[in-house]
Amino acid sequence: MHSHTLPQRHALTIALLAAAAVAGSPAMAKEVTDADIVNDAKTPGDVVSFGLGTQGQRFSPLTAVNAKTVKNLVPVWSMSFGGEKQRGQESQPVIHDGKMYVTASYSRLFAIDAASGKKLWKYEHRLPDGIMPCCDVINRGAALYGNLVIFGTLDAQLVALNKETGKVVWKEKLGDYAAGYSYTAAPIIVKGKVITGVSGGEFGIVGRMDARDALTGKMVWTRPTVEGHMGYLWDKEGNKVENGITGTTNASWTGDLWETGGAATWNGATYDPDTNLIFAGTGNPAPWNSHLRPGDNLYSSSTVAIDPDTGKIAWHYQNTPHDGWDFDGVNEFVSFDYKGKDGKIVKAGGKADRNGFFFVNDRTNGKLLNAFPFVNKITWATGIDLKTGRPNYIEEGRPGDPSADADGKKGKVVFSAPSFLGGKNQQQMAYSPQTGLFYVPANEWAMDIWNEPVSYKKGAAYLGAGFTIKALNDDYIGTMRAFDPTTGKMVWEHKNYAPLWGGALTTAGNLVFYGTPEGFLKALDAKTGKELWKFQTGTGIVAPPVTWEQDGEQYVGVVSGWGGAVPLWGGDVAKRVNYLEQGGSVWVFKLHKG
Ligand code: CA
Ligand code: CA
């Protein structure tokens, strides 16, 4: 496939250049190249990937804003997303050639002059009635490639716009929104291909990862993440060719349940050029009621490593085999150099899973290297066995089987921690190679959960479970925590009253930036956790901050706008934070000179 896509792309680039020359275009807009994307983490002049580098470390080498100077950080501009549409704003902006591209709720995308905040253009995707996003009308960001800005929509489309004009260049369908498919994650670009997953695990969809030619939208391969489904790739003539069944049909599923098995890939993926692997997290097996589907239910609640050239699964590691709590293993797998207890450096990846454990896997083969809790209370397992790689389950921690009950309508209620919203949810952690620490925006909460009978019906919630989320402490739910991945020890924490739902950013200036639902963008000392700076953005932050350099100055940017899954699914916690107000804007900061 590779030899097919590259010449095609070059041909198109040449055609575009020729067209520009004929038209006498004065300044050709700067294109985003594969080299720009692969080198993103090392080039602070732009942010051209989700994660400030495809490995997802969210580490910036910039030092102008640092533990000493951060007190002088002041707002430069703020831009409202406007309209009547607010709700959750979970987007990470991307910045290239002095322009910021940022998505907003209800499948909107804005291009903004990054230094002045001047709006350049806006794209509003026309959404049909009847979309079914499970967890608010959010979007996590766009990808840049060539002259395109590409993002997914709530009606499960992938839209590529000309990044200078906002005009649609191509549009492709990711799934049937009437069956529960949607898309909210930021796409990633790997070697000219745009890589996406699908959302809809609460509706019994079938999770998968897709690769398309980023310039044309044409399919390259598709890889289902539920065992038993066929993968495909597309040959030079555009024919769909079988590319091997994922796993072995019925090996880890009972009956025909694999046909509606979930394992949604709703939180995107990371890519590691060292191993040439895409790492995707997969969500819950469907339905939630685990008694209906005996077996491990591969490849749900797992990390799946996929070869970007062939679409084949190179390895997998299941964080929660036979998940019965909606512990979606969708959390990002962040590549880093792991220093083993023997001092040896291993190419590894870290993942703070919704199930409350932090996992370190060898990223070349998936072997489990370390696992430790990153939240205080875990009721479903006593730990992870490093030899077998499997959890040591506490059987009483699994919600009961309704069919064992007298009337068969409701199984035994179980008090479970973490809650299904997770020790960590969509909010991305950061890793600093300088301190060697992971910065994990974690939450301490629990739930009452019970199972109910359910059968699959297209477009209907497919849970077979009920629940109420509860806080574990009066004074905090959220807590930013710094972990040493070798010892598993928490080095510091900084508590927050409301649950944390925005990602982290760390910098060579010894800082950790993150936002709170209370509206503050905060900077902490990366080594000690001491709060050094904060700014009130006017509404809750549920998105990850970014930083970049422009005209010799360091900028920090973040999207603000309270919403996401907590107000919709949060039970007692939703009530506890119902005083928080909605909004929708981008804030940008730099150091005050003076
Ligand atoms: Ca960069
Ligand atoms: Ca789920």
Residue range 285-311: mean pLDDT, rounded: 97
CA distance 498 to 495: 9
**The two structure tokens encoding residue 60:** 């910036």
Q: Nearest ligand, CA of residue 199?
A: 2
State the chain's mean pLDDT as an integer: 95
CA of 67 to the centre of ligand 1 (A): 22
CA distances from 180 to 129, 176, 205, 219, 267 (A): 13, 7, 7, 22, 16
Q: Which residues contact 24 (CB under 8 A, 6 or more apart)?
A: none
The pLDDT, as a whole number, for residue 329 is: 94
The pLDDT, as a whole number, for residue 75 is: 98
CA of 47 to the centre of ligand 2 (A): 29
Q: Which residue has the tokens 């905060």?
A: 522
Q: Which residues contact 118 (CB under 8 A, 6 or more apart)?
A: 112
User: Which tens digit of pLDDT belongs to each residue from 225-260?
Assistant: 999 999 999 998 999 999 999 999 999 999 999 999
CA of 53 to the centre of ligand 2 (A): 26
Domains and CATH numbers, the chain: 31-119+132-151+160-241+260-288+296-591 (2.140.10.10)
Q: Nearest ligand, CA of residue 467?
A: 2
Residue range 440-456: mean pLDDT, rounded: 98
CA distance 199 to 282: 10
The winner for highest mean pLDDT among 17-21, 84-88, 519-523 is 519-523
The pLDDT, as a whole number, for residue 318 is: 98
Please determine, for residue 67, whether its predicted confidence score (pLDDT) is greater than 90.
yes
pTM equals 0.95
Q: Around Cβ 403, how many Cβ atoms within 10 Å?
A: 13
Please determine, for residue 2, whether its predicted confidence score (pLDDT) is greater than 50.
no
The pLDDT, as a whole number, for residue 27 is: 58
DSSP characters over 392-454: EE-GGGSPPPGGGSSSSS----EEESS-TT-SS-SSPPEEETTTTEEEEEEE-EEEEEEE---
- The percent of residues in the chain predicted with pLDDT above 90, rounded, is 93
Q: Catalytic positions, please?
A: 326
The pLDDT, as a whole number, for residue 176 is: 97
Contact, 517 vs 499, CB < 8 A? yes
CA distance 110 to 106: 12
Torsion (CA) 527, 533, 539, 541 in degrees, nearest 10: -20
| Confidence category of residue 13, pLDDT binned at 50, 70, 90 | low
**The two structure tokens encoding residue 504:** 């982290």
CA of 549 to the centre of ligand 1 (A): 9
User: Which tens digit of pLDDT belongs to each residue from 476-516?
Assistant: 999 999 999 999 999 999 999 999 999 999 999 999 999 99
Residue range 412-416: mean pLDDT, rounded: 97
> What angle is formed at CA 363 by the lines to CA 361 and CA 364, rounded to 5 degrees?
130
Contact, 92 vs 544, CB < 8 A? yes
